[in-house]
Amino acid sequence: MTPCFVAPVSIRPGARSPTGTTACQQAGCLRFSLFLPSSSHRQNPPARQAHRHKAPTMLFNFFYNRAEDIDLDKLAEKHPAVLVTDLRKTFKKRVKGKGSDKKENKIITALDGVSFSANRGQVLGLLGPNSSGKTTTLRCISTMSDPDSGTAQMFGIDVHKDPYLAREMLGFVAQSAGLDKVLTGREHLELFADLAHLDRATKRRNIEAYIEVLGLKDFIDRQAGVYSGGVIRRLDMAIALLHQPPILILDEPTVGLDVESRMVIWNVLRHHRSQGGTIILTSHYLEEVDVLSDKVVIMDKGVVIAEGTPTELKNSLGGDRISIRLQEFTEMEEAELACATLRKRGLAQEAIINRVRNNTLELVVSSSNARVGGEIVGALGEIGFEKLFSFSQSKPTLDDVYLAATGQSLSDADQVAKEKRTDKAMRQESMA
Ligand SMILES: Nc1ncnc2c1ncn2[C@@H]1O[C@H](COP(=O)(O)OP(=O)(O)OP(=O)(O)O)[C@@H](O)[C@H]1O
């Protein structure tokens, strides 16, 4: 199927409906978590909202549809769509103590003062290796998690002080969808449209529009249990967009998807932005962030290490990148000798030894000198490296921005983090 895009519905500032978001992380039961009070409100419900907590049957009364009274145009003149200020978040984890089988508490700092902002109509890409704090940031913005300190605002509204209103303004697509296997796609959409209190005409119009643009026609009347990963993700996206939220938050929306599903999702995101929607997305795919984002925030170990437009970030690195593997297994002394020689001869503006990639030399060279590649090969030949194992020259990428800041590429950092964090731990954390 060729991904085709028909503009469905426009984002209504101050949309009438509340959030019909897919808050679920792993299982169906969490799907409703955005319809429930945030943890601070569960412990300390404000008096004004106390009546909402009386019984589960009050679930559908959580919403006042207050967003419809908000003049987003006015608010957007004064405030960014999303403003995150000095977010800090730690977790306690039970781990085996050193030298004994007894378990002890370990404090994990997931966010260590994260700040950034996105204006209305912007796509902000959060980039970083596993465990850098991207999901925790999104969970704090979308009220699913309370930070230890710091604030997150949507159009000037503090999301933790007024989580109900914040939830009316956002759509959330989590890393994995918790669909009900026995419901069809259409039944999911109808359920969430009802939870979002859409009127009958809007409900019908939006459901049909998103079935069309997300290419769900052939699957929508089948049970979700038989859906492929790509279709699940597209349905999840339709649910998040049903109430046309001004802010859309997506945690790795295209991970593991086929090219067709990825293109469909990219088109929908572009359309959402063109209608004035603001999008915050995380991704491991550098090219996806590069192509879609107006602004990129690169995170590492719970802090922001770089921020700007993709072009600004790449230009800030100076010239072309050259990556050289001297031998299949390069010794550290050999890499250091080669690095020192190139620096001494002024052939590299910067030279880093990438330990994770078998001591590969990562160089920044002047892009105005067309012969610099040849000169480097010649200089290395003179000190005994006549036959290089590999040599590549390219324009800077976002991965180079990360490399320059941390000394390792994103994929290498991902690998290191994955080795430390099991799938089981990740599942447990996302359910917490
Ligand atoms: N509920 C939790 N309990 C304990 N530790 C947690 C919890 N949630 C996150 N963490 C820890 O916080 C750190 C940041 O995790 P987070 O999921 O935000 O990273 P990430 O950048 O989104 O990674 P990924 O790309 O793998 O999702 C990790 O070290 C993780 O182990």
Q: Probe ligand 1: pick from 88, 103, 111, 135, max atoms within 8 Å of CB?
A: 135
Phi, psi of 305 (to 5 degrees): -105, -15
Range 318-395 classified under CATH 3.30.365.10:
no
Ligand 1 atom at minimal distance to the Cα of residue 429: 1
Could you state, in order of their start, the residue ranges of all structural domains in the chain?
Answer: 76-169+252-317, 318-395
Q: Is the pLDDT of residue 212 over 90?
A: yes
Ligand 1 atom at minimal distance to the Cα of residue 428: 1
Measured in Å, residue 45 CA sits from the centre of ligand 1 at: 27
Span 356-362, mean pLDDT?
88
Measured in Å, residue 110 CA sits from the centre of ligand 1 at: 6
Q: Which helix (H) or strand (E) holds 300?
A: strand 295-300
Q: How far is CA 329 from CA 111, 133, 325, 353, in A?
A: 37, 33, 8, 13
Coarse DSSP helix, strand, coil percentages of the chain, rounded to the nearest 5 percent = 40, 20, 35
What is the C-alpha separation between 330 and 20, in angstroms, rounded?
54
Nearest CA to ligand 1 atom 7: 429
pLDDT band for position 79 (cuts 50, 70, 90): very high
Q: Which helix (H) or strand (E) holds 394?
A: strand 390-394
Please state, for a pLDDT cut of 70, what percent of the chain lies above it: 79
Among 33-37, 104-108, 268-272, the range of highest mean pLDDT: 268-272
**pLDDT tens digit sequence for 126-150:** 998 888 999 999 999 999 999 999 9
Q: Probe ligand 1: pick from 26, 30, 107, 108, max atoms within 8 Å of CB?
A: 108
- The C-alpha angle 199, 15, 309, rounded to 5 degrees, equals 140
Measured in Å, residue 183 CA sits from the centre of ligand 1 at: 31
Average the pLDDT over each of 124-128, 235-239, 351-355 and give the range with the smallest value: 351-355
- What local confidence, expressed as pLDDT, does residue 4 receive? 38
Measured in Å, residue 153 CA sits from the centre of ligand 1 at: 22
What is the C-alpha separation between 164 and 62, in angstroms, rounded?
8
Q: Is the pLDDT of residue 21 over 90?
A: no
CA 321 to chain centroid, in Å, comes to 26
**Which residues, in sequence order, are bridge partners of residue 75?**
none
For residue 146, the one-letter residue type is D
Residues with a CB atom less than 6 Å from ligand 1:
91, 93, 108, 110, 128, 130-136, 421, 429, 432
Ligand 1 atom at minimal distance to the Cα of residue 111: 14
- What local confidence, expressed as pLDDT, does residue 294 receive? 96
Nearest CA to ligand 1 atom 1: 429
Reported ipTM: 0.96
Span 183-197, mean pLDDT?
93
Measured in Å, residue 251 CA sits from the centre of ligand 1 at: 13
At the second CATH level, the architecture of 76-169+252-317 is 3-Layer(aba) Sandwich (3.40)
pLDDT band for position 216 (cuts 50, 70, 90): very high
**pLDDT tens digit sequence for 43-53:** 444 444 433 33
Ligand 1 atom at minimal distance to the Cα of residue 137: 18
Q: Is the pLDDT of residue 93 over 90?
A: no
